[in-house]
A = this chain, B = another copy of it.
Amino acid sequence: MKPINVGLLGIGTVGGGTFTVLKRNEEEITRRAGRPIRITTVADKNLELARSVAGEGVKLTDDAFSVVTDPEIDIVVELIGGYGVARELVMKAIENGKHVVTANKALLAVHGNEIFAAAQKKGVMVAFEAAVAGGIPIIKALREGLSANRIQWLAGIINGTTNFILSEMRDKGLPFAEVLKEAQALGYAEADPTFDIEGVDAAHKATLMASIAFGVPVQFDKTYVEGITKLEAADIKYAEQLGYRIKLLGIARRREQGIELRVHPTLIPAKRLIANVEGAMNAVLVQGDAVGATLYYGKGAGAEPTASAVIADLVDVTRLHTADPEHRVPHLAFQPDQISELPVLPIDEVETSYYLRLHVEDKPGVLADVTRILADQSISIDAMLQREPEEGEAQTDIIILTHLTIEKNMNAAIAKIESLDAVTGKVVRLRLENL
């Protein structure tokens, strides 16, 4: 059968991996797809690099726009990243009737609605398995595998850099800044790690998963984002003592009033499988009303794991590229005219449990005041831990775990607790999910 022609935009880590895997497993992939999948053209500013990766027989260009308009190209693989030229190229490719495969979570989380609408109108597919959790087929699982379910919530470790840092902080008892340096030296964190450590990357991925799980538009601007840069080693240790681990989770939960969509460091019970996902690995836990909890685990980044997802999309698109659009899976799992208007709730309205650390003077009555304030906000206490003060020390830490409450009630309680004379400095507040 006639090969399918792929134009590859960007020959960096994932582009190189895609090349390598397509070539190494050419026979196996063709046996599955029913026809050869060939990268015929590569566009990259660095033509020398492109030549060294692509070898002979592949057309090279530094003009990516010539690829997305090339009538010989069936599918465009966008691996440039970012919201700028990548957006223009994807829109241009769609306009020219090309199917698009992309790993660009930032682009889709921010401009996905526009891109999917254009693709829908033109009758082409935009596939993005590689945009979330690298090689784990989580988009396919959510969009197709769990299609019988009303998805209730999902929670994912979807950023390998931060999970590596948190694992190291716990294992070695080291502070954030030190572990970050180690992660950079080992190649687990980039020179500018802002998007990872501030939670932005995880928020892009959580945004996409929420849309597919609940059938709502992509709304990155409404996603609550809190990174791990302020996390202290002391809290990781206290959490451990109470039977919890701290993970940066992307959480999406459906409630009657709307959807919670948030990324933040989260205490989770240490005995849960997902709490034991260590190092740079990713995992997503999904709760459906029929299936119950399912978990998907694997490498969330890297050349070949991400290429695995890119190529799986290429096989899917190859299979369906001449099929009627009605035979295809909708971009956001739900038919385009069936997208829900359920709003994303502001963080004030989120319902969760909390971990509080108070630095207090070691004298009678403090605990009575604190617990009274929590009770006044209808916040009930699940567990408490008071550190034995050192010899001669006048102050100590009190750790409180609460049951479920609404975030604004917790904010009100914390403001009152911080105004107590016996409480020094700010209250450390972390969210806790029992999953």
In the docked arrangement, what's the CA distance between A298 and B28, Å?
29
Name the B residues within 8 Å of A134 (CB-CB).
291
Separation of A288 and B21 alpha carbons in the complex (Å): 11
Interface 9-mer from A238-246, A256-264, A321-329, A360-368: A321-329
Q: Which of B17, B136, B294 contacts A298 (CB 8 A)?
A: B294
Residues on B with C-beta less than 8 A from A31 are 215, 334-335, 338
**A146's contact among B137, B145, B146, B323, by CB below 8 Å, is which?**
B137
Determine the chain B residues whose CB is within 8 A of the CB of A230 once the complex forms.
none
Alpha-carbon distance A324/B29, docked complex (angstroms): 20
- Residue A320 is within 8 A (CB to CB) of chain B in the complex: yes
Q: Interface digits, A121-159 against B, CB 8 Å rule (1 contact, 0 not)?
A: 000000001000011110011001111111000000000
Is A305 in contact with chain B by the CB < 8 A criterion?
yes
Do A137 and B148 have beta carbons less than 8 Å apart? no
Pair A296/B294 contact, Cβ less than 8 Å: yes
A31 nearest CB neighbor, chain B only: B338
A290 within 8 A of B: yes
- Near B by CB (< 8 A), chain A positions 15-66 give 17, 21-22, 24-25, 28-29, 31-34
Q: Is A322 within 8 A of B312, CB to CB?
A: no
In the assembled complex, the Cα of A34 lies from the Cα of B320 at a distance in Å of 17
Contact of A140 among B21, B29, B32, B145 (CB under 8 A): B145
CB distance from A216 to the nearest CB of B (A): 12
For residue A413, CB closer than 8 A to chain B, the reply is no
Min distance, Cβ A267 to any Cβ of chain B, angstroms: 19
Name the contact of A292 in the complex, choosing from B32, B135, B312 (C-beta under 8 A): B135
Minimum distance in angstroms from A31 CB to a CB of chain B: 4
- Residue A315 CB within 8 A of the other chain: yes
* A359 within 8 A of partner (CB): no
User: Considering the chains assembled together, what is the distance between the CA atoms of A148 and B293 in angstroms?
Assistant: 27
A348 on interface, CB distance cutoff 8 Å:
no
Inter-chain contacts of A273 with B (CB < 8 A)? 273, 276-277, 297
- Residue ID in chain B nearest A214 by CB atoms: B28
A323: which of B21, B25, B32, B327 is its contact (CB, 8 Å)? B327
Contact with A307, one of B145, B290, B314, B338 (Cβ below 8 angstroms): B290
By a CB distance below 8 angstroms, the chain B residues around A24 are: 150, 289
How far is the CB of A113 from the nearest CB of chain B, in Å? 17
Task: Say yes or no: is A165 at the interface (Cβ < 8 Å to chain B).
Answer: no
The contact sample of 28 A-B pairs, CB cut-off 8 A, is: A21-B148, A24-B150, A25-B289, A29-B147, A31-B334, A32-B338, A135-B294, A136-B291, A137-B145, A137-B146, A140-B140, A140-B141, A144-B316, A145-B312, A147-B315, A148-B309, A148-B314, A273-B273, A288-B308, A290-B305, A290-B307, A291-B305, A295-B295, A296-B297, A319-B326, A319-B328, A323-B323, A327-B327
Pick the 4 closest A-B CB pairs, nearest first: A137-B145, A148-B311, A294-B298, A135-B291
Interface residues of A (CB under 8 A from B): 17, 21-22, 24-25, 28-29, 31-34, 129, 134-137, 140-141, 144-150, 215, 273, 276-277, 288-299, 304-305, 307-312, 314-316, 319-320, 322-324, 326-330, 333-335, 338
